[in-house]
Amino acid sequence: MTKKTSVKKAATPAHDPHRVMQNGVARTLGMRIVSVTKKKIVAEMPVDER
């Protein structure tokens, strides 16, 4: 009997910061990415004066 070798996949998918900004809420609020690190995405959002 032959041994089966399995290909291990990463526990988390590839890091894609743009996936966060494709959410409908992020687009509606007008968020812009400021910086991206391995563990954190910083974005800014315009605030209207009332």
**pLDDT higher than threshold 80 for residue 17:** no
What is d(CA 30, CA 44) in angstroms, rounded to the nearest whole number?
8
| Chain Cα centroid distance, residue 18 | 5
Nearest to 17 by CA among 43, 36, 44: 36
Angle at 30 between CA 14 and CA 39, to 5 degrees: 30
The sign of the CA dihedral 42, 46, 47, 49 is positive
Q: Which carries the bigger pLDDT value, residue 3 or residue 11? A: 3
pLDDT at 50: 77
